[in-house]
A and B are shown apart, each in its own frame.
Chain A
């Protein structure tokens, strides 16, 4: 089909629309919002790619997926061929197809976007990845090279760790992932809600890694159960990707009232422990009637949409800048609004006011207006004199960000850190300790799944060079 299509015909195709669960229905359950494309929709969308020679989309991808190639195979109806290209480049394509900010990466560079809308690369990645999962038998197992006899320890089973593990296993190295929590996936499982990334997807991506011979040991807290020094003596190289798991506090009065959560606690209770969404779970969560989520990033959107699904009458985003400055993906903001989330922008939290019995009752807010740009280039919010008011809120979730967790780094004195406690590493992930590499949020601070995966991929290549004596270690 694709080979016979003229350029004019390709250009005439409009961008596919993602089918979504009805907003009223979905705002009361945890089912995945985006339903995925049909095969016909996917093949048609793939034909929108004009196979331009300079391939800017690939440069926009932190893991360098061969996008035109997998789209070309998809357009030709060769799903197995497309899947082999995609899964060869990306260790977690079904995850990326769901949570990557394509609109600022591959799709932002797409030449079709210059005049019109870019190819829906993210939707197509998801389609091919899901097809590959459902047709694993047809694809066959990847051929692994002979074992090198070298062993690598990966600290953290999140996106960076999983990616590095897959890349290293494919090069014949023995890999063991150590995970502090009782289950795999890291932030993919405890942070990202079911309605954006079903847990089943994580389970299946991890299962694929296990087929490559990767071992995962949960309940091992590096820095506590075992130290970096112990791992160094038992393994030939290390990749540290233990995330940025330490919430930043608001440092406003009332933060220790009952009903005040960090985003990490709120999401972990619901996502990892199943509170409020799984009838078998014994972990409790407070179901707020008026839930105020402080922050404007993707984590804030995840929290506020979760609150809505837990039955909140009012689920509110409280953000001190305007919507234009929000770091959250446009799609997340759109979905949240459709689900009835209120956006109280240009509002800064001043204090959480209790009800006299220790429960959060109001969020005292200061109305703001935009002043001149600050260091980040965004217009700085400044208080509107005398404009304070109390917003009813029995649950308040702090989603302003996380910092580096010092649990591991505190027990590894040779590991150089920056002033925020993040591990210092070069562009290939090498740290101040030979043979120890690092990536993801422990290096970057709070960042994205795909940048963490890019770190994992680059560090795996560097570790391979280190172990085999090739290239600069």
Chain B
């Protein structure tokens, strides 16, 4: 069992869990994830490690409650426990010094972006961070990111905070200005966002790294359920990723495969809802 030390709500349906997992905390590097089950009978789901404190033996997980499994994970209060936490899995982020980099986060992806952006800043990069969300209440970690970013740009779809629009609008300003143009772009968020960013940087030949979150079972390369097409070849996100060259990723196939169980899950949710009303 892995004790939950803290469980804070950062945004609607978005929780920050601090979990005691000393071995994971000691081994973890930016970009890696853990497989989590809240209790017996639950699905195994991958969650990127947002941060780790090896001295305290804790890791931080940012969890967006969107399905049955994530809802049950965020329902575990401080003092409770998660039954299973296995990791750190996946390859760590390749950190180098590109001079200037742009780090782009969308929704809960901003939490995944945070350790990566910080590692890039620590490696001497000048980091421009762009974070986006539907409205102000979905913008998370802005102070934490601002602490090491040369500039922090915020976009919201309704204009309730920062610039009205999408992260791609803010990125456009950087790409078109030779004085601001990044040597590499890191994008973490919903698939349509990562795809849009990759399409935007492609004609400029700017290296673009995306962090993928396909359906996963074991997280150790055993089942291949998380396969994604990168450069025309099947790669396993759990062991070859989760970060890949955004210009090589087949986003259409990724989007499609992510929808595999949507109908089953919707039916399951209906059944649960039905049960609760009885």
Contact = CB atoms under 8 A, between A and B. Distances in A.
A2 interface: no
A210 interface: no
B221 A405 contact: yes
Contacts of B227: 256
Please indicate which of the listed interface residues A255, A273, A405 has the most CB atoms of chain B within 10 Å of its own CB: A273
Nearest to B42: A282
Interface residues of A, number: 38
Contacts of B253: 256
A181 interface: yes
B38 to A, nearest CB: 10
Contacts of A278: 41
Contacts of A245: 218, 220-222
Contacts of B41: 274, 278, 280-282
Given A225-B23, A255-B234, A358-B256, A262 B84 contact: no
Nearest to B227: A256
B234 A249 contact: yes
Contacts, number: 108
B68 A286 contact: no
A176 interface: no
Contact of B224 (A218, A225, A259, A262): A262
A265 B86 CA distance: 18
Main secondary structure of the interface of B (DSSP, over half): mixed
B89 interface: yes
A246 B222 contact: yes
B85 interface: yes
Contact of A284 (B89, B218, B220, B264): B264
Contact of A268 (B85, B223, B239): B223
Contacts of A283: 43-44, 217
Interface in A9-62: none
A258 B86 contact: no
Contact of B220 (A180, A259, A274, A358): A180
A226 B27 contact: yes
A269 B69 CA distance: 15
A258 B227 CA distance: 11
A258 B223 contact: no
A282 B87 contact: no
Interface in B86-111: 86-89
Contacts of A366: none
Contacts of A405: 220-222
Given A273-B43, A282-B43, A284-B264, A268 B222 contact: yes
Contacts of B264: 284, 286
B65 interface: no
Contacts of A256: 227, 229, 234, 253, 257
Which of A220, A255, A265 gathers the greatest number of chain B CB atoms within 10 Å?
Answer: A265
B15 interface: no
Interface string B248-278: 0000010011011100110010000000000
Contact of B223 (A225, A265, A280): A265
Contacts of B27: 224-226
Interface string B198-237: 0000000000000000000110111111010100001000
Given A182-B83, A221-B87, A268-B217, A258 B224 contact: no
B42 to A, nearest CB: 6
A150 to B, nearest CB: 23
A408 to B, nearest CB: 10
Contacts of A258: 256-257, 259-260
Contacts of A273: 43-44, 217
A195 interface: no
Given A225-B24, A255-B234, A262 B257 contact: no
A220 to B, nearest CB: 7
B247 interface: no
Contacts of A280: 41
Nearest to A265: B223
Given A219-B85, A225-B23, A282-B68, A262 B256 contact: no
A207 interface: no
A261 interface: yes
A278 B42 CA distance: 11
Interface string A365-382: 000000000000000000
28 contacts: A180-B86, A180-B218, A181-B86, A218-B84, A218-B86, A225-B88, A245-B222, A249-B234, A255-B234, A258-B259, A259-B260, A261-B225, A262-B224, A268-B218, A268-B222, A268-B223, A273-B43, A282-B41, A282-B42, A283-B43, A283-B44, A283-B217, A284-B43, A284-B264, A286-B260, A286-B261, A286-B264, A407-B239
10 smallest beta-carbon distances between A and B, as pairs: A245-B222, A265-B223, A219-B86, A358-B256, A182-B84, A284-B261, A280-B41, A284-B264, A265-B225, A262-B224
Interface of B: 23-24, 27, 37, 41-44, 68-69, 83-89, 217-218, 220-225, 227, 229, 234, 239, 253, 256-257, 259-261, 264-265, 268
Given A180-B220, A268-B223, 9 more contacts: A219-B85, A225-B87, A246-B221, A247-B222, A249-B234, A256-B257, A273-B43, A278-B41, A284-B268
Interface of A: 180-182, 190, 218-221, 224-226, 245-247, 249, 255-256, 258-259, 261-262, 264-265, 268-269, 273-274, 278, 280-284, 286, 358, 405-407
